[in-house]
Amino acid sequence: MKSVVIDVWQSHSTQPRTAWVMPDGCQDVIVTFSDNALPNIEISPLHTCATPVQLIPNQHMLGLRLAAGFDTHSLNLEQLYRYVDDTSELVATIESSAKQETSQVQEVLTCFQAEPLSIQSTALTLGVSSRTLQRLLKSQTSYSPMFWLRLARVRSAAKMILAKQPLGQVAYHCHYSDQAHMSREIKHWLGTTPTQLHHRSDIANQLLAPGY
């Protein structure tokens, strides 16, 4: 089974501000440290579009990004609270909680990433039916194969655009019907246009960070 914790990040804001979180197919275990308050642990939602998050001054956050497809229901928050001051133990505890189904889901999602052509082609590659993929992903992630296929496509397309590939070539490579279709998907998921991507360092940084 692949690693469950794929990234560890930290954030500290001295001024109140709004940060935009891009959908990356992952959920994060976030430990928040505030002045005169006990640490708080929460699990971020699986974002389905660009989402604004309000950052509070003098609040420090430690985040552990979980691999796409990880079932957060297997986490014991009470157990995690024991290790809020020990990142390595937090990571080890999360890794040990992974279920066998996580490995199966990761295999499907990896196929979508490698060749986001269609659900049927992925099912054929894995030697299962489309209905089996539907049941597995819906039961383990709460989202359908089409959600994951579209997310894999748009993230791949956005990275190619950031690498200054021609838009028409990107649309073809990522299996969009045309450039307009790709632009609509980028707007839907990332809240911006292909052209504006080059001027949004916050989006670029998130797309290039570990994720789905």
**Cα–Cα dist 44/137, whole Å:** 19
pTM: 0.93
Q: Is the pLDDT of residue 88 over 80?
A: yes
High-pLDDT (> 70) share of the chain, %: 100
Q: Is the pLDDT of residue 99 over 90?
A: no
174 in the same domain as 140: yes
At 45, which CATH number? 2.60.40
Find residue 29's DSSP bridge partners: 43, 64
Contacts of 28 (CB under 8 A, 6+ apart): 43, 44, 63, 64, 65, 66
Contacts of 73 (CB under 8 A, 6+ apart): none
182 in the same domain as 87: no
Q: How much is the average pLDDT of 191-212?
A: 96
209 within 8 A of 148, measured Cβ to Cβ: no
Given 96, 116, 151, the domain boundary residue is 96
20 in the same domain as 89: yes
68 in the same domain as 54: yes
Number of domains in the chain: 2
At 150, which CATH number? 1.10.10.60
110 in the same domain as 28: no
52 in the same domain as 112: no
115 in the same domain as 66: no
Name the burial class of residue 16, with classes exposed (0-12), middle (13-18) and buried (19+) by CB atoms within 10 angstroms of its CB. Answer: exposed
Given 74, 96, 118, the domain boundary residue is 96
91 in the same domain as 61: yes
Range of the domain at 154: 100-208
pLDDT band at 1 (very low <50, low <70, confident <90, very high): low
117 in the same domain as 86: no
**Cα–Cα dist 165/14, whole Å:** 37
Q: How much is the average pLDDT of 61-69?
A: 96
107 in the same domain as 52: no
Question: Model confidence over 107-138: pLDDT tens digits?
Answer: 999 999 998 889 999 999 999 999 999 999 99
151 in the same domain as 88: no
